[in-house]
Amino acid sequence: MDYILKTAEQKGIYVGMVCVWGSPVKQGKMSVEDAKKYGEFLANRYKDQPNIVWIMGGDIPGDVKPEIWNTLATTIKFIDKNHLMTFHPRGRTMSATWFNNAPWLDFNMFQSGHRRYGQRMGDTDYPIEDYTEEDNWRYVEKSLAMEPTKPVIDGEPSYENIPQGLHDSNEVLWKDHDVRRYAYWSVFAGSFGHTYGNNSIMQMKKDGSGGAYGAKKPWYEAINDPGMNQMKYLKNLILSFPFFDRIPDQSVIAGENGVRYERLIATRGNDYLLVYNYMGRPMDIDLTKISGQKKKVWWYSPINGSLSYLGEFKNKITHFIDETGYRCGNDKVLIAIDASKEYIKTDWPELPDAQEKWNK
């Protein structure tokens, strides 16, 4: 573990340190006294390691052995005040339900999970409404509506090339357009970032061995999967604009928000707005929600990062149609910017790489 952390540090990578998985705690294999001793050990060993985010829980509801999680968290926090801390809950739940007021919880995490609309798999204690299973934006809205307000992230959405529902390897696999939708829905709704997952990579599947959840491709081939390599386009987009001005704002959409795959998600700063459209359906957008009497507008592709300049528009509610068609996975982002600003040049074919920009 020390080697992994040091190697990650050298490569500029932070590690989410899950202290203990939820199932052994549920089975009674850790007492409060164990949690205190273990927390002291972990905190003293890694308090000076710069690239750690502490994660309590591990696919478990927060009301299962809460005394363990609170003891472990507060013990670590007492010794190590240098690192952020959160809680990883079970599928279709969020940490805010149990720990939003906990002093040790720096940001909330939810797990939107791997199930499609209407997929129940025999659950008897399902915590959300029917046919909202894929709506990860709902968790963001619920978390941000709570007091005190804390940042939030989807810690486990559907993974690329994992079966829908997770456990039946004969099921349809989640693909690149699905992981894009989860990412844009979540971030535009107000998440501070996103967690991408891949069936082969998350279990370090090797050629000729392993392969839970029907994984067949080795991890060193899966790193070339399209969904993984499309995540940078979301990062490039978000970091092209003033980050801390940005808020979720559905009032930008003048017509219907839409349900399920037709759901439009809008976010904006003071002088720019972004609308994610998964289906490519027509939409009415209120350009008066940001500054400027005229707005420059682009289509942006989450698939390949390309920009298409549409022109300069008057400051009013405007109808936009994606001429490439209406279908799942034909996703686009509408970008509108106060015409006096130059966050994007009209002749750019794509956005500059955000990582290179921020490393300068």
Residue 15, SS3 per DSSP: strand
CA distance 323 to 282: 9
Residue 235's pLDDT is what?
Answer: 96
Q: Is the pLDDT of residue 123 over 90?
A: no
Question: Is cis: bond before 148, omega within 30 of 0?
Answer: yes
Other C-beta atoms lying within 10 Å of the C-beta of residue 120: 11
What backbone phi and psi angles, to 5 degrees, belong to 73?
-65, -50
Residue 127's pLDDT is what?
Answer: 78
Residue 56, SS3 per DSSP: strand
Q: What's at 200, amino acid-wise?
A: S
CA distance 160 to 200: 9
pLDDT band at residue 360, thresholds of 50, 70 and 90?
low
pLDDT in tens, 85-100: 999 999 999 999 999 9
pLDDT in tens, 147-184: 999 999 999 999 999 999 998 899 999 999 999 999 99
Tokens for 162, please give them: 């994992």
CA distance 70 to 68: 6
Task: Give me the sheet containing 93-94, strands edge to edge.
Answer: 93-94, 108-111, 152-154
Q: Mind listing the domains of the chain with CATH numbers? A: 2-238 (3.20.20.80), 245-359 (2.60.40)
How many CA within 13 A on the CB side of residue 247? 10
pLDDT in tens, 284-307: 999 999 999 999 999 999 999 999
Residue 95's pLDDT is what?
Answer: 97
Mean pLDDT to the nearest integer, 207-225: 92
Buried b / exposed e along 311-347 (16+ C-beta atoms within 10 A): eebebeebebebeeeeeebbbbbbbbbbbebeebeee
Q: Taking Cα atoms as reference points, which of 301, 287, 244 lies closest to residue 269?
A: 244
Residue 325's pLDDT is what?
Answer: 87
Mean pLDDT to the nearest integer, 38-53: 97
Q: What's at 181, amino acid-wise?
A: R
Mean pLDDT to the nearest integer, 268-279: 97
